[in-house]
Amino acid sequence: MTAAINTGLSKAERTDVVGELTKVLADSYSLYLKTHGYHWNVRGAEFFSIHSLLEQQYREMWEALDTIAERIRALGEFAPQGYATFGNLTSIVDGDPEKDSNAMLAELIKDHGTVIATMRQALKTAEDDGDDVSVDLMTQRLAAHEKAAWMLRSTLGAK
């Protein structure tokens, strides 16, 4: 027996939002993996400070992944799982451990921008479909990624 989902959103509205949230989850997971990998592989004069910053960032993203996936489930769909599935949904490319620390940080800044763009599209879809909960979630995640990008830019000495 399946209980009806009564969120005040139609099936079509839930499906629209979930379509965008799955992309958010895939981009977020891919950025988490890249950030964690760069945390392991960073080297150079600023090793400790960058290593610590990236750890803070990947831990924060790890927590958020569960929240995004649970929102997808609350809307009545299965959350995507598995590397191949995420690979087909994400716009983030794998990192290169051979890069120097500045190149790693520059790439992560670009990738946060990609995640931000994906989240802004999800936010728009959620707004258009009247999904205030997903709007709130995307607003919170946008703030986190904008802050992370700012910290990375500042580490590189940029505005």
Q: Each residue of 19-52: pLDDT tens digit?
A: 999 999 999 999 999 999 999 999 999 999 999 9
Q: Count how many domains the chain has.
A: 1
User: CATH no. for residue 72?
Assistant: 1.20.1260.10
With a CB cutoff of 8 Å and minimum separation 6, the contacts of 129 are: 9, 13, 14, 16, 17
Q: Is there a domain that residue 64 lies in?
A: yes
pTM reported for the whole predicted model:
0.95
With 70 as the cut, is the pLDDT of residue 126 above it?
A: yes
With 80 as the cut, is the pLDDT of residue 2 above it?
A: no
User: Which region among 48-52, 74-78, 154-158 has the lowest average model confidence (pLDDT)?
Assistant: 154-158
Average of pLDDT values for 131-156? 97
Q: What pLDDT is stored for residue 3 in this prediction? A: 76
Q: Is there a domain that residue 4 lies in?
A: no
Q: What pLDDT is stored for residue 4 in this prediction? A: 81
Identify the domain containing residue 117 by its residue range: 11-155
Name the residue among 68, 63, 82, 84 with its Cα closest to residue 24.
68
